[in-house]
Amino acid sequence: MPSITYREALNQALREEMRRDERVFLMGEEVGFYQGAYKVSKGLLEEFGPERVLDTPITELGFTGLAVGAAMAGLRPVVEMMTFNFSLLALDQIVNSAAKMLYMSGGQFRVPMVIRGPGGSAHQLSAQHSQALEAWFCHVPGLKVVMPSTPADAKGLLKSAVRDNNTVIFIESEVLYGTRGEVPEAEAVIPLGVAEIKRPGRDVSVIAHSKMVLVALDAAGELAKEGIEVEVIDPRTLRPLDSETILRSVKKTNRAVIVEEGWPFCGVGAQMVDTIQHHAFDYLDAPILRVTGADVPMPYAKNLEHLCLPHQARVIEAVHRVLYKH
């Protein structure tokens, strides 16, 4: 299998799905002539033309609403948010229109659309451009939420998202765009709602998503030097959540650590704790621990930004605590 970047994998997925289905089109700020703020849409305007690759004004509420209407009319729009921080400007269309239309129309109108782009922190983008907002979208019935951590997952999950008949929130990571990995050249569609064990282990289950998977894997590598075998689980899809894979792992290891970039209060990890607590409580040999971002707006200073985010040492400390090493 060829090794390509996360960004190239997303580009492949979009290109293949636009070739496969003429109803699929891409829209967003700078997706056309500029080829995307992060070059995910490179070459698509040249191949598919301005009717299927649409540069929009800086009006998230407007073009997201346009996409909802297009989806209701039978098209399959892919909306690029230059950053998911900007999706806040379109929350009314996402939460009150896209997520609820199927229910409120009594099943008459589906809204098959993907809203995608980078979320979370990158490098010194400060408080307004570093937010991990996935928990907000996971809270809303009618939305699916996907966060791939590898190039292969990015391609396979985006293809599934484009084909899904529901509205899919597809959050990428600016930090991951340049990472490389093997990606199948064949169809290689990955179904939504299926987790993957990124590293098998027997001692502790570490559940992480998006770029926190890389942090968890780094920590697992260090812990292996101590003889501690960590099982790293990547949910890949946060809603619907593959609870079965998570619970099966926890029942095997009897310990769980959850790593997420987002804020701790009402975070994605809190939902996972609830799931494990309800369905695997009798298997636990230690309290479930969470490693999260700090409960503050993201500072601009590089050293403070590092302190706010989960990193290898914090994950190792949490694993030691559930193993009663300290």
Phi, psi of 48 (to 5 degrees): -110, -10
Please answer whether residues 211 and 177 qualify as being in contact, where contact means their C-beta atoms are separated by less than 8 angstroms.
no
Average pLDDT over residues 25-31: 97
Predicted confidence band at 1 (pLDDT cuts at 50, 70, 90)?
Answer: confident
- Res 149: pLDDT: 98
CA-to-CA distance for 109 and 52, rounded, in angstroms?
A: 22
Q: Which fold has domain 196-322?
A: Rossmann fold (3.40.50)
Could you state, in order of their start, the residue ranges of all structural domains in the chain? 3-182, 196-322
Predicted confidence band at 120 (pLDDT cuts at 50, 70, 90)?
Answer: very high
Percent composition of the chain: helix, strand, coil (DSSP 3-state, to 5): 40, 20, 40
Q: What is the pLDDT of residues 216-253, one digit of tens each?
A: 999 999 999 999 999 999 999 999 999 999 999 999 99
Q: What is the pLDDT of residues 302-325, one digit of tens each?
A: 999 999 999 999 999 999 999 998
Residue 136's CB: how many other CB atoms inside 10 A? 20
Buried b / exposed e across 291-314, counting CB within 10 Å, b at 16+? bbbeeeebbeeeeebeebbbbbeb
Q: What is the pLDDT of residues 41-97, one digit of tens each?
A: 999 999 999 999 999 999 999 999 999 999 999 999 999 999 999 999 999 999 999
Active site residues: 60, 129
CA-to-CA distance for 216 and 324, rounded, in angstroms?
A: 19
- Domains 3-182 and 196-322 are alike in CATH topology: yes
- Res 188: pLDDT: 87
Give the single-character DSSP code of 266.
T
Q: Domain 3-182 is of which CATH architecture?
A: 3-Layer(aba) Sandwich (3.40)
- Res 111: pLDDT: 98
